[in-house]
A = this chain, B = another copy of it.
Amino acid sequence: MNQATVPRWSITELLEGCARAGYGGAGLWRHRLEGADLPQLANLAASAGVQISSLCRGGFFLVNEPGRTAERAADNRRAVDEACALGATALVLVCGPAPDRDLAAARRAVADAITELAAYAGTVGMPLAIEPMHPLYCADRSVVVTLDQALSMAKTAAGASGSVVGVMLDSYHLWWDPVLEASIAKAAGRILGLQLADWVVPLSDPLNGRGMPGDGSVDFRSFRRVVEQAGYAGLAEVEIFNPVIWEQNPVEVLEVAAARYKEHVARLA
């Protein structure tokens, strides 16, 4: 379960709630870590049998103001350290909007920044997961919008740094891609995480209109099958930005998500 689906819970509540509901992992967000004792959280997760499946997010490399680049790089190294302290599977990178209209230049700068961060992440053994985001967010969140593009950057950064750089696959961001199946096959060995949310029409909100699996257009069973065929055997996070779900009792949200997983995502018996 990703923390963004049940923001009413503190991290401690999330870890305990996941354990009670039989979830094997929890995805966390940096802005909720403020002041937390990370080794203590890591111990709590370990004793609860809950893997920290991801930490969101590093990235947002591109800034308009001169001098901010170094500041962003330092913050990204802190994100790597936090992911390490938590024992997270990977640090998720959201690859920022372009500072101007030159998308190609922004993409080159992102690739360079990932390579630089990967060199640091490698020294502390933290895998980086580039998250391609839906082209809907190309202007304001991420210039990395397809899995092919993310894979190409991951390979370059891994090759140049010798570190582990892979991808985070989110159904909401990827489901529309006509070459998705082939791209996922190419991602074999680089899939560091899986996130699930459905695309619901009409789109109530570009950011927070995501749905529980089964509420929308995504064929989750095929998505999971292709990801498994590429050799991924890790956890799947349910990550849903939706104010209707945020208002619900988190215990019930975990129950519904588990039921939806069984109905729409899991391998048929």
- CB pair B219 A102 closer than 8 Å: yes
Q: In the complex, what distance in Å separates the CA atom of A129 from the CA atom of B175?
A: 25
Asked if A74 is at the interface of the complex by the 8 Å CB criterion, the answer is: no
Q: In the assembled complex, which residues on chain B have CB atoms less than 8 Å from the CB atom of A229?
A: none
Asked if A218 is at the interface of the complex by the 8 Å CB criterion, the answer is: yes
Q: Which of A40-48, A134-142, A155-163 contacts B (4 or more CB under 8 A)?
A: A134-142
Known contacts A98-B217, A218-B101, A219-B101; is A176 also within 8 Å of B140 by CB? Answer: no
Cβ-defined partner of A178 (8 Å) among B107, B176, B219: B107
| Residue among A102, A138, A148 facing the most chain B CB atoms (10 A cut-off) | A138
- CB pair B178 A149 closer than 8 Å: yes
- Closest Cβ of chain B to A75, distance in Å, is 23
Q: In the assembled complex, which residues on chain B have CB atoms less than 8 Å from the CB atom of A181?
A: 104
- CB pair B135 A136 closer than 8 Å: yes
Asked if A60 is at the interface of the complex by the 8 Å CB criterion, the answer is: no
Q: In the complex, what distance in Å separates the CA atom of A242 from the CA atom of B139?
A: 18
A127-157 at interface with B (beta carbon < 8 Å):
134-136, 138-140, 145-146, 148-149
Q: In the complex, what distance in Å separates the CA atom of A177 from the CA atom of B134?
A: 11
Residues of A within 8 A of B (CB): 98, 101-104, 107, 134-136, 138-140, 145-146, 148-149, 175-178, 181, 199, 201-203, 206, 216-219
**Leading 5 A-B pairs by shortest Cβ distance:** A138-B176, A135-B176, A101-B219, A139-B217, A149-B178
Q: Can you name 19 A-B residue pairings with CB atoms under 8 Å?
A: A101-B218, A102-B219, A134-B135, A134-B136, A135-B136, A135-B176, A135-B177, A136-B203, A138-B199, A138-B217, A139-B199, A140-B201, A140-B202, A145-B176, A145-B177, A146-B178, A149-B178, A203-B206, A206-B206
Given contacts A134-B136, A138-B175, A139-B216, 13 further A-B contacts (CB under 8 A): A101-B218, A101-B219, A103-B176, A103-B219, A134-B135, A135-B136, A136-B203, A138-B217, A139-B176, A139-B199, A145-B176, A148-B178, A149-B178
